[in-house]
Structure 1
């Protein structure tokens, strides 16, 4: 039982993220996860022993509980969300929405997602392409790039634009980043740590967070610097050299994640 509990707890962050996206509500999502774990620990749900197979089976269990209306009336998502990605996903067929979440939010392979949702592989490909097109048409993020290497900045810009998002500008220093943020009010920043004129992207991120909550993805050759300073909460880190897939996945996650209520209040000045 102890080992089984440990296996389940390893999957808990993923289950909560998926369940909250599935229902459109943190409270309902957590209710789904709690019920699913109770069923597993009570032996009411026969699931694989561990690893990816267990995680996929738990996603299936969450889908079934949502369909049963667990956690709230009606089953499925709470419609009428004001979050831009959720609003776009709400226009999809429920199976298409779940397929999109599994692949784009949870990093499940298309083959595994298709199996989880009982779709043929060719159906999954077609439906995922359709879902991505719908989301792309409904959602455009405004992204600030803070990078002093012109070639890397160009690559990031092209990646952002290929996803259908807008780049409001590229800053190479702290002053430029703050000025562009004030002028354009971006929804996300891609941030290098070592900037021109000796500026530091960590300090830029802290100042942006003090002024208003702005999600930041650090793209840096110094991936351990945040951890050394105990500042991992400022944002995820993508080490250089990076792939376009890494950038695309990180942007999708950042844009999808709603701003927490406590983060909407300006933080105190950085010290």
Structure 2
């Protein structure tokens, strides 16, 4: 293996990672990398770090070439994803998405990423800040708490806010929960099973599921009730007493894991 080939192979894992994110899929990304490597290795006598014309073959230059190949083919990344993070990135303008990927995924300094995209550094700063804010907003969950114990509800709310998410309200009964859900359209509910006025969180979860799909995490002193009724599919269970770490982990899994109903809606009919 000559020096130039070794130089390219060092960059290969980064190129594949970026190309897959750029195109929206592993097969498309790997095909783009293959075309880039073919372009780079046309002249076996090239010096390490340059192509046959002496052009720069640094990692940044290779990213630039991947972008040019993608654009010249008239292709764009698949704009639908089952994963919330990818969906948030696809909501960005394409140049902003590439800037975000180069800085946050590929760990390029902002000035280098701006150079790859042939973008003035001052503009890159503004666009990256805007992209980060938009992604952050898209990944902020609106969480409904259904809990009749005020102290526990307060603790749950503090945990949710500490993670950067929003609490749309706390309900102690089924009627309150359904009203808050209709008003705020939450993305997740933390649900006790035994509620005020004899209401049951399982029935609340079933009604919310009937009206529209809403992920639910049950936080309860009666963790066996779901399994006894064969209703484990309604959501994971965290037994009381709980730790904040348990709540944080469960919320993170719920927010960043696509759900079958949402995936079907995003992908549309086959």
Pairwise TM-score range, normalised by the shorter structure: 0.5 to 0.7
Q: Aligned-residue CA RMSD in angstroms?
A: 3.7
* Equivalent residue runs for 1:187-206 within 5 Å: 187-206=187-206
Q: d(CA) in 1 for partners of 2:104 and 2:236?
A: 27
Q: Tell me, which stretches of 5 or more residues in structure 1 are unaligned? A: 1-62, 99-131, 266-271
2:183 and 2:162 mapped to 1: Cα distance? Answer: 23
2 CA distance for matches of 1:232 and 1:161? Answer: 27
Residue equivalent to 2:162: 162
Does the Cα contact within 8 Å between 1:147 and 1:192 map onto a contact in 2?
Answer: yes
Taking structure 2 as the reference length, the TM-score comes to 0.53
Structure 2, gaps ≥5 residues long: 1-16, 33-76, 91-96, 107-131, 266-270
C-alpha displacement of 1:80:
3.0
1:238 aligned onto 2:241? no
How far residue 255 of structure 1 moved from its aligned partner, in angstroms, is 1.2
Alignment partner for residue 74 of structure 1, among 25, 29, 37?
29
Check conservation: 1:219, 1:238, Cα contact below 8 A.
yes
Superposition pairs of residues 116-135 of structure 1, within 5 angstroms: none
SS at match of 2:28: coil
Contact 1:86 1:256 in 2 (8 A): no
Alpha-carbon distance change, 264 to 205 in structure 1, aligned in 2, over 3 angstroms: farther
Deviations along 1:55-99, one digit per CA (max 9) or x if unpaired, are: xxxxxxxx9xx89x99622149x653455432346755489669x
State the SS of the aligned residue for 1:140: coil
Instruction: Supply the distance in 2 between the matched residues of 1:200 and 1:263 (Cα, whole angstroms).
Output: 29
Against the structure 1 CA distance between its residues 94 and 142, is the aligned structure 2 distance closer, same or farther, given a 3 Å change threshold? same
Is structure 2 residue 176 aligned with structure 1 residue 221?
no
2:152 partner SS: helix
Residue 147 of structure 2: aligned partner:
147
8 Å Cα contact 2:84/2:257 also seen in 1: no
Q: CA 1:207 to 1:162, structure 2 compared with 1: closer, same or farther past 3 Å? A: same
Which residue number in structure 1 is paired with residue 249 of structure 2? 249
In structure 2, relative to structure 1, the CA distance for the partners of 1:133 and 1:223 (3 Å cut) is farther
Q: How many residues align?
A: 172
CA gap 1:178/1:224 in 2 versus in 1, 3 angstroms = same
Shift of 1:248: 1.1
Give the drift of 1:154: 0.4
TM-score by length of 1: 0.53
- CA gap 1:263/1:135 in 2 versus in 1, 3 angstroms: closer
SS of corresponding position for 1:152: helix
Give the Cα–Cα distance (whole angstroms) in 2 for the partners of residues 263 and 233 of structure 1.
Answer: 17
CA–CA distance in structure 1, aligned partners of residues 214 and 105 of structure 2: 26
Closer, same or farther: CA 245–136 of 1 in aligned 2, 3 Å: farther
Alpha-carbon spacing, 1:89–1:248, altered in 2? closer, same or farther (3 Å): farther
Deviations along 1:100-154, whole A, 9 cap, x unmatched? xxxxxxxxxxxxxxxxxxxxxxxxxxxxxxxx99964552111100000000100
Of 202-211 and 241-250, deviating more is 241-250
Closer/same/farther in 2, CA of residues 72 and 263 from structure 1, 3 Å limit: closer
The 3-state SS of whatever aligns with 1:203 is helix
